[in-house]
């Protein structure tokens, strides 16, 4: 019997990848079409010029015209998080706004997140309190999410949650309307190999953020830095293999974030572990093994967080150029090396 070809995975990007351009939704869709992509995740409500129905209908119609599948998105949904900045009277109303905007553009998922490493490493309250509050918020919009046919896609975001903690929120909220937006860059900050993240969350993944990282040993433990696809040592081939097996209908949205310096994970220091009292030893061992096989990024990179330079026109232009170049060479790597993407395959 002839071997069946690998099922195609839609290729696209999360709009944060081009943050320095400050483009709005319609510009971002036109860019995606020019790159022969299949999908776009409009990851934040700020990416729209307006939340008025007429404008959102234009975004939906333009996406259809260009043959793009759209995923929706918003930011933090946990009012206990330091990253929660909604001006809505309640988190429930904020989430409903995001769900309705996502439904209006024709999306069936809405990316969001609970918090960040600032919450994880805080002495103010244990991470479990934020998890409980996030579950409460999700439950408060259950009927509306189901009526709108839009899944809440919770991201493992910027060091807030390990995969099993995201899974707990999904299961306790209700996997019929709460799912995962799997990010392959953020597991580093919670000492987790992204392959583990995909193994745990894969069956619940409806959208993604995919990027590479250089993970390497450090005298205090390990360090990591986000890089373009192919520049790091994450096993992206295995991630794609699991994607095809566990969540083939989810788009692969590249979220390429370069311009951030390496960050140290001081797991040789006992005090660090008080923020990870339930960490799985075998999964941590896989992260250590990942770091042992890696090395620092030796290429050139404009550092985005150099605050004193942000208002220098030439510096701002360099950041824009870097974001575009790194995103587009990541598209090429995804298509040619990982075999991802439906449109433009004749050119491969």
- pLDDT at residue 346 is higher than 60: no
User: Which pLDDT does position 308 carry in this prediction?
Assistant: 67
Rounded to an integer, the average pLDDT of 60-75 is 98
What's the average model confidence in pLDDT over 248-275?
Answer: 97
Q: What is the DSSP letter of 295?
A: -
Mean pLDDT, the chain, as a whole number?
A: 95
Residue 347 — pLDDT band, cuts 50, 70, 90?
very low
- Rounded to whole angstroms, the Cα distance separating 182 from 243 reads 10
Strand spans (E) along the chain: 11-14, 39-41, 69-76, 109-113, 151-155, 178-183, 205-209, 212-218, 221-227, 252-254, 263-265
Q: Say if pTM beats, i.e. exceeds, 0.85.
A: yes
Kind of pairing, strands 205-209 and 212-218?
Answer: unpaired
What does the block give as tokens for 150?
Answer: 């839009």
Question: What's the CATH code, domain 11-337?
Answer: 3.20.20.150
Q: What are the domain boundaries of the chain?
A: 11-337
């Amino acid at each position: 019997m002839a071997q069946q070809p690998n099922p195609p995975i839609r290729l696209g990007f999360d709009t944060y990848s081009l943050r320095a351009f400050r483009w709005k939704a319609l510009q971002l869709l036109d860019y995606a079409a020019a790159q022969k992509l299949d999908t776009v995740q409009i990851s934040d409500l700020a990416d729209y010029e307006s939340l008025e129905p007429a404008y959102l209908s234009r975004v939906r119609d333009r996406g259809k015209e260009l043959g793009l599948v759209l995923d929706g998105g918003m930011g933090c949904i946990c009012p206990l998080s330091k990253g929660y900045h909604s001006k809505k009277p309640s988190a429930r109303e904020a989430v409903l706004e995001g769900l309705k905007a996502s439904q209006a553009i024709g999306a069936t998922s809405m990316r969001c997140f609970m918090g960040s490493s600032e919450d994880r490493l805080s002495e103010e309250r244990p991470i479990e309190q934020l998890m409980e509050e996030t579950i409460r918020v999700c439950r408060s919009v259950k009927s509306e999410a189901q009526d709108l046919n839009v899944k809440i896609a919770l991201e493992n975001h910027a060091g807030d949650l390990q995969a099993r903690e995201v899974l707990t929120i999904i299961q306790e909220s209700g996997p019929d309307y709460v799912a995962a937006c799997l990010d392959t860059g953020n597991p580093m900050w919670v000492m987790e190999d992204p392959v583990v993240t995909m193994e745990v969350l894969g069956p619940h993944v409806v959208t993604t953020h995919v990027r590479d990282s250089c993970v390497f040993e450090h005298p205090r433990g390990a360090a990591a830095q986000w890089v373009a696809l192919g520049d790091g040592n994450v096993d992206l081939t295995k991630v794609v293999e699991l994607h095809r097996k566990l969540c083939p209908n989810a788009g692969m949205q590249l979220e390429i974030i370069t311009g951030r310096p390496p960050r140290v994970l001081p797991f040789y220091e006992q005090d660090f572990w008080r923020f990870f009292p339930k960490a799985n030893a075998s999964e941590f061992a896989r992260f250590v093994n990942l770091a042992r096989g890696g090395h620092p990024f030796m290429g050139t990179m404009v550092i985005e967080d150099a605050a004193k330079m942000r208002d220098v026109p030439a510096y701002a232009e360099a950041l824009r150029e870097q974001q575009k170049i790194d995103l587009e060479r990541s598209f090429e790597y995804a298509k040619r090396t990982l075999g991802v993407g439906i449109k433009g395959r004749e050119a491969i």
